[in-house]
Amino acid sequence: MNNQTKSKKTNVLVLPRWYPNKTDIQLGIFIQRQVALLKDEFQMQVVYAQAIADMNQDYELVSNHNNGFAEHIVYFKSGKGILKKLINLKRYKKAQQLGLKEIQVDIDLCHVHVPYRPALLAINFHKKGVPFVVTEHWSGHLNGIYQSKNVLDKLIYKRVLKKAKKISTVSEALKTAFKKNTGFDSVVIPNIIEKTEPNNETNSEIIQFLSVGDFHNETKNFSGILYAFKTVNAINPKTQLTLIGGGPDYDAIVNLANDLNFPENALTFTNRQRHEFVLKSMNACHIYICNSRFETFGMTVAEALRCGKPVISTKCGGPEEFLHENNSILIAPSPPQNNSEHKELADAMLKMIEDYKKYDSAKISAELNTKFGREAVQTKWREFYLS
């Protein structure tokens, strides 16, 4: 099963920049799933710090073992004013320490997801001889945000990378951009895509479209989906669209939908939902849509494929590595300055309505399992941690 002795598992401290918490139950869910994947082979511990505005106290610690491993989430009161960034950094470091106090084992390895802030604790362990590894998920390497960072932030970021024992990225697209921006090599280890039970109750009379994501419109372009669906639904009224997620632009997208005046029951917003709800919704839909401008991996796209669903996706980075003519229609993303651009997406949706039954659901699912299933991904992480 593994290369470790039966008497002692390697104790891994996971330090993520994103992680599911009470402010966003979907944030970094792929990191939580990866930890769960490794919990039987390694002793996994998670320490995560999350700022919250207007807390009644400075810190709140929530620990649990609900997922089969220890999670220590520490909420801290967000600072205000011109010193907000400095205050938050200080409180973030203290929050990490409060979480660390709950861990009763000696740490053998730290795993930092999305540096550099969560690496602050890993650096302390590094000074004591405990190595750390880094996984980068951040789309800032693809969309130009990294280049806009100030010199100090880039310097600290690269110093963290230099100290890391190993670095992984989640896709070839991110690996290439990461290398270009930082000069550091990385190994590609994809996110795990879980098996889900098929849903045989899908209503074939109504074509169900689905899209899931954070409502950050400049990146995900949900407004473009709404404009496209308005065209599609007018042509084919036997269509429905469900949007799952929440975020800073949620209210604006809901308001846009109201302005577009969709027919009753044509459009559903669920806000944020737990992972189990998302997977059930993917099983229930006919066609999945990703209208993003940038994706480092494309977790929801892969999950939809694992459910055997054909996909309409923009050429946005990560998903192109596992999308092809036998499982998808690929389109160009609309420019950031035009969130209402939708013709290519609408055309793809109309074509998919005609053709979705021609896609081989079993083959689509099996291919994704081979690439991103439990055994394939688990083997890569075992080698990454132990070699």
pLDDT in tens, the chain (387 residues): 345 545 578 999 999 999 999 998 889 999 999 999 999 999 999 999 999 988 889 999 999 999 999 999 999 999 888 888 899 999 999 999 999 999 989 999 999 999 989 999 999 999 999 999 999 999 999 988 999 999 999 999 999 999 999 999 999 999 999 999 999 999 999 998 876 666 555 556 899 999 999 999 999 999 999 999 999 999 999 999 999 999 999 999 999 999 999 999 999 999 999 888 999 999 999 999 999 999 999 999 999 999 999 999 999 988 999 999 999 999 999 877 666 678 999 999 999 999 999 999 999 999 998 888 888 899 999 999 998
Q: Is 56 exposed, middle or buried (0-12, 13-18, 19+ CB in 10 A)?
A: exposed
Alpha helices by DSSP H, listed for the chain, are 29-38, 84-100, 119-127, 140-143, 145-148, 151-163, 172-182, 217-220, 222-235, 250-260, 275-284, 299-306, 343-355, 361-372, 374-386
Q: How far is CA 215 from the centre of its chain?
A: 13
The candidate with the shortest Cα–Cα distance to 35, out of 13, 17, 55, is 13
Q: Strand pairing partners for 13?
A: 45, 110
What is d(CA 48, CA 19) in angstroms, rounded to the nearest whole number?
A: 7
CATH superfamily of 11-189: Glycogen Phosphorylase B; (3.40.50.2000)
What is d(CA 188, CA 246) in angstroms, rounded to the nearest whole number?
A: 29
Q: What is the pLDDT of residue 5?
A: 47
The candidate with the shortest Cα–Cα distance to 109, out of 24, 3, 14, 180, is 14
Same fold, 11-189 and 207-370: yes
Q: What is the pLDDT of residue 340?
A: 65
What is d(CA 138, CA 167) in angstroms, rounded to the nearest whole number?
A: 13
What is the side-by-side strand order in the sheet with 328-331? 267-271, 239-244, 207-212, 287-290, 311-314, 328-331
At the top level of CATH, the class of 207-370 is alpha beta
Q: What is the pLDDT of residue 144?
A: 87
Q: What is the pLDDT of residue 371?
A: 87
Domain segments of the chain: what residues?
11-189, 207-370
Q: What is the pLDDT of residue 335?
A: 79
Dihedral sign, Cα of residue 24, residue 276, residue 385, residue 180: negative
